[in-house]
A and B are shown apart, each in its own frame.
Chain A
């Protein structure tokens, strides 16, 4: 007989933790065959035996078991498991379900970036994903950051910048600043060669894919978000005040056997605080974004308008930036088999800059640090003012700005400098757009055609009046310059793909063709000298100066063209066994016929053991995917025409014949360096092994280990000068990077309380494995510092470009110590040293301290980077904290001018060695520095560059829907936010985050501080509104 158990019917609604209804959730009564699925309104109804347990499961959400009691209504809220495995990620030329991706791809969603007040995309990525090391090069609004993916890939600057692709259009690293953050749907970072190889020759330093927002069919969605706030410098240096300065200068001069210049230092008091004159404690920053999107079955659109306006915290009057953006994305689907559309982004920015942002030769901040505190900022005493020259710069009241008589050269009164640059500005217009069509004649077969362009127009107007800053810096002719450049790059791609499932075999085939052109910038600069204007506003090209005082120069870029063929096979069996293989062939105009074409293959495989029947069911490992990949990518980032023997002209070939006023400067021509027709691609091969896992339902973990090796790094190795010709490009060096990356996520819901934590950490190890035979080091791309010469060097079997200088062996405490510091043959090594001077280590053991005693002093490049995001919400309140940091880096603290003995000091120099302070770590300060305590590069210039920075902390409140829906709103959220609230670091300068910048000198060297413009700390209030 059969026993019929009493069954009851349970009803309920399933929602997610934001209250959204969830259709399609499987509801199963355990121990019975009964199972149902929630309907379109999220409701279900199931018959269950008494005391049954219901299991609610839905892909992307944590499975929930609920014991049924006596109730008939059971509403359930499901929690999203992190990194929704069902979600789709953008891979090169397509998309793929995350659970079957076999490459190492990290992503950031646009929603994670909402309300983060950054204005450049690099900053959006900073600290968000593993593998990326990002450092701002300057705190000046609108400045680019340095982006390195998995350490260094090559030598030099440009070749280490990843390739940016926005909606399929290739953008150079400098141009990516055009994009408005609010328009970003997602960013994917293709880290391993297997993922990136489909971008072939430009992919060696990694590829970053940016997808902009598209409209969705359905309701019209209207959104506004904006913020406004103030910024301030996060830190000030402790510099000597007037009395301290005069005291220290007196003792330095007396130590040098000279007279003390300041009879009574106490009279000077605090003196001038130059820092406070250039810093702004309330520099406004604001951003507004407005978007409308929507669509129907046949068409969708996304339109946005955004405006950002930021004033800098240093010399605000000449440090401003604003940008306006418009985006028009649309798709049309007139028939089932065809769709077409366009993505168009336009931006226009206007900026004025302080000039050099990390440079000791005249940067505003550098002047503020180095100027003596005894010089008044403004001369208020008419008697003193009368002694100033007529062309000294004056404030609007006619009072001259103080001119230091002690600190000269490029160091200018920053107020005077600001006064002369008022009004100067730069501008740009960027249009990045593509038009595309997708044709699907039979199911699964798609032809995608895209025509993309990146157009940029940029320039600026600069006026330099006649001014007397000091006897060394006194432009005596006014000049007005205008420069205009335009660039039009384009690319065309045709891609054919076919997707089909044969039972459990899922296959996607892809073949494509592309043509790309960039590099054809064309520009002109016109300069008029001696125009009768004293300010930018008066200056105009309408002034008719002498023809001889009008100069124009033009510039022409060189086309860089690439054409490509590529194909890919993606296969999986039941989403359990995964494989991808691809190959790309690129031809580049940068190489000679011997090596014009390069082939870039890659293969990757994956296995999902948790889907195997033999995998034990458990609550520890919910999902596991193991991946492995190998691939080859290329780099053609060298100059053009290195493979053709050419004749060159230029200043290094010209010569003058004839008398004064009748002379002719003749233009000379001679061969350039010999050609190298065998020049070929730099190749980077990379192996990556990793896994993605979901653990204990709430944790996600991704780990990747990789080894990448770049061979044939292009360089111009030193050749004997007796040949008479210069060095020519060759494929010479090899470099290796190893690393491990972790991304860990956790998400938990406890009633109304939600917690989310995301962390990532990356560790890099870099080593140069090959240089020209017989060479143990190269000085290519070395950083230099004032009179110290090169301060970095690349040694074989060592990391790229490390600090290189003298090792200090302490401080001589007595004349006896000086006399006893001898070489092996008995000579005194530093006969002219005095007690208090630095003892330089005689590392090579010979009888002289010289350049051969220099050694590696540290690594400027971080060896680890990490980031941490915490999301908390309780009912309508939310809290987000996000921070990131780096480790293993050393900073060169070069804030003081070495060649200006009267330059001001930081207060730590008050503790320099003196006969009464013999335990000091800093050597004695003596005018002229005869022992070169400070004018030889020793470890005393290096400081730890490790830091952790709380990049943003945000607290928000969302008004309940019940309240706002009455006025038609879907969303109303207000928040307060602070950027860079604190930075944990031991670094003594303004800011330990020091990217590579042109000002900071060549060489792709991080961490050189010459008085860099620091990042601001801000306090903002913001608003998000949705209809």
Chain B
């Protein structure tokens, strides 16, 4: 009679029966990667947040509260209850949890030793990525390296940021020797490589203003001769800047670490964040777009988010990177008369061309086109690491004409046909703004350079507060966590 009540859990694999095989370990690793690419169900990701927050973009969309998390980011009206911080926080910590579970279980799994150590290295690199974002966004955060028993879940305290950086550096230095130099792009494109981990480590050092250490890591990634192929990893700037934004041109020679998307997961509205498609593509597209003749781009009608400010549009107007970066819809509609669109909220007419979805790339699987565009996002690409190494070297004192720093800096300009200019902080900042526009780097750069308050004041940015995000209120309820002093807390 009692056994009658024991229902077989069927597809519900019990914890005790899992983590037994190499395939189990791989599936667990995949779940960690998933958090790296995790997009909010509310149709945004880290790039969208960073773009909305910076001076180059306005939130846009269909109205003043459409994707409200981006709106409040853009107007700096976010607080610990409202804003994108919950997404950033839980993305990081759920990734860390999955990484910690895998690291605690993998030792006991009988499997190929080399594969095991590679999985561990990938997991540690991903954990470092999660922590690096969390410590930059939230400063004082819990440092968790195991799994928390539910009975102790309210007892966790925050760690000093230095301890977090120590773990990040340790995870990366553990991982680097084990990771493969390259992976076959066709089948493993997107998995962490040695170069990706080193570029990350460089960024971590740069964030800590450890200039020589940062430059050393970037040098390995960038190769001996700026502008030429890195003989170890094969990295090389693409000859044509616009090719970076061809969704089919994945894992190109300039790509160091990519968030992979696919058109084939049939992601649906029930859980848009679970789609493998790229949601930036749909949200950046102009609303109500229709092509009147074939000279106009085949944009797929989108939701008109993250429009460029007129100020940025004029800043980039004469740069060779203008066209691949900015789509001027008013020009298409009113001058070329080749397309029509419906202005959205905050409309400027200038759209983020790097991401706008194209009809040609629409999925051929299923009918949920909006959520299944295949374009990848660059987490790190070579032009970025060129400029970062140049910055590190410059900070360490090297910037003269002909120096490596100067060569790196001007290699980025040369690729788009620009003449060399002097390397100084002002020029470097301009170059990063142009080269990496819309890619989610600008806001982090402004904060790192310490000029965010000055640049973003007109948007509502308050110096000494908005350099970090508020720790979500839900994390403070009943716990031992304290809000950062920037947000009125005690830490």
Contacts and interface: CB of A to CB of B under 8 A. Distances in A.
A binds B: yes
B271 A668 contact: no
A291 B36 CA distance: 66
Contacts, number: 250
Contact of A645 (B16, B79, B190): B16
Contact of B267 (A651, A667, A724): A651
A647 B13 contact: yes
Interface in B442-485: 472, 474-475, 477-479, 481
B366 A551 contact: yes
Given A589-B6, A658-B186, A789-B68, A668 B13 contact: no
Contacts of B95: 724
Interface in A862-914: 898-899, 901
A725 B27 contact: no
Among A655, A671, A928, A935, chain B packs the most CB atoms within 10 A around the CB of A655
Contacts of A589: 5-7
Nearest to B250: A659
Interface string A46-59: 00000000000000
A658 B274 contact: no
B98 A724 contact: yes
B64 A932 contact: yes
Interface in B164-194: 185-191
Contacts of A644: 9, 12, 14
B4 A935 contact: no
A653 B31 contact: yes
Contacts of A646: 9, 12-15
A472 B470 CA distance: 36
Nearest to B471: A722
B33 interface: yes
A669 B10 contact: no
A396 interface: no
A672 B36 CA distance: 18
B34 interface: yes
B37 A655 contact: yes
Given A563-B4, A670-B31, A899-B62, A472 B288 contact: yes
Contacts of A656: 37, 190, 260-262, 265, 276
Interface stretch (A299-307, A553-561, A686-694): A553-561
Interface string A639-681: 0110011111111111111111011111111111011000000
Contacts of B261: 656
A663 B38 CA distance: 18
Size class of A's contact patch?
Answer: 35 or more
A477 interface: yes
Interface stretch (B44-52, B147-155, B222-230, B389-397): B147-155
Q: Of A645, A656, A901, which is in contact with the most chain B CB atoms at under 10 Å from its CB? A: A656
Given A641-B12, A652-B271, A774 B5 contact: no
Nearest to B345: A928
A648 B66 CA distance: 32
A660 B30 contact: no
Given A650-B274, A722-B93, A655 B260 contact: yes
Nearest to A666: B30
Contacts of B264: 663, 665
A628 to B, nearest CB: 35
A577 interface: no
A386 interface: no
A850 interface: yes
A660 B250 contact: yes
A18 to B, nearest CB: 52
A851 to B, nearest CB: 5
B380 to A, nearest CB: 17
A499 to B, nearest CB: 28
B109 interface: no
A266 B125 CA distance: 67
Contacts of A587: 1-2, 5
A654 B39 CA distance: 12
Nearest to A664: B187
A407 to B, nearest CB: 11
A665 B289 contact: no
Contacts of B150: 674, 719, 723, 728
Given A787-B65, A787-B66, A789-B68, A720 B475 contact: yes
B248 interface: yes
Given A665-B265, A718-B477, A725-B97, A561 B367 contact: no
A229 B104 CA distance: 71
Given A471-B301, A654-B276, A664-B187, A720 B271 contact: no
Nearest to A786: B65
Contacts of B89: 721-722
A151 B281 CA distance: 47
B216 interface: no
Given A477-B367, A529-B366, A671-B15, A724 B64 contact: no
Contact of B101 (A663, A670, A718): A670
Interface in A562-607: 562-563, 587-589, 596
Contacts of A668: 27-34
Interface in B48-99: 62-66, 68, 77, 79, 81-82, 86, 89-90, 93-98
Contacts of A728: 150
A62 B409 CA distance: 106
B247 interface: yes
B365 A548 contact: yes
A917 interface: no
Contacts of A276: none
Contacts of B1: 563, 587
B18 interface: yes
B316 interface: no
A773 B190 contact: no
A589 to B, nearest CB: 4
A780 interface: no
Given A658-B186, A668-B33, A408 B288 contact: yes
Contact of A669 (B13, B65, B93, B342): B13
B24 to A, nearest CB: 7
B185 A658 contact: yes
Given A641-B12, A718-B477, A721-B94, A658 B189 contact: yes
Contact of B274 (A562, A651, A667, A898): A651
A705 B289 CA distance: 63
Nearest to A788: B65
B149 to A, nearest CB: 8
Interface string A777-808: 00000000001110000000000000000000
Contacts of A657: 187-191, 260
B418 interface: no
20 contacts: A479-B367, A529-B367, A558-B9, A561-B7, A589-B6, A640-B7, A648-B12, A655-B36, A656-B265, A668-B31, A718-B474, A720-B478, A722-B93, A722-B148, A722-B156, A723-B156, A724-B147, A775-B477, A787-B66, A901-B63
Interface of B: 1-2, 4-7, 9-16, 18, 24, 26-34, 36-38, 62-66, 68, 77, 79, 81-82, 86, 89-90, 93-98, 100-101, 141-142, 144, 147-148, 150, 153-154, 156, 185-191, 247-248, 250-251, 260-262, 264-265, 267, 271, 273-276, 287-290, 301, 342, 345, 364-367, 369, 374, 472, 474-475, 477-479, 481
5 tightest Cβ-Cβ pairs between the two chains A and B? A724-B97, A651-B274, A668-B31, A668-B30, A670-B31
Interface of A: 408, 471-472, 475-477, 479, 515, 529, 548, 551, 556, 558-563, 587-589, 596, 640-641, 644-660, 662-672, 674-675, 718-725, 728, 772-775, 787-789, 850-852, 898-899, 901, 928-930, 932, 935
Given A558-B7, A669-B24, A851-B82, 20 more contacts: A556-B11, A563-B4, A651-B276, A656-B190, A656-B261, A657-B187, A660-B250, A664-B187, A666-B26, A668-B29, A669-B28, A675-B15, A720-B474, A722-B142, A723-B156, A724-B95, A725-B97, A787-B66, A928-B64, A929-B63
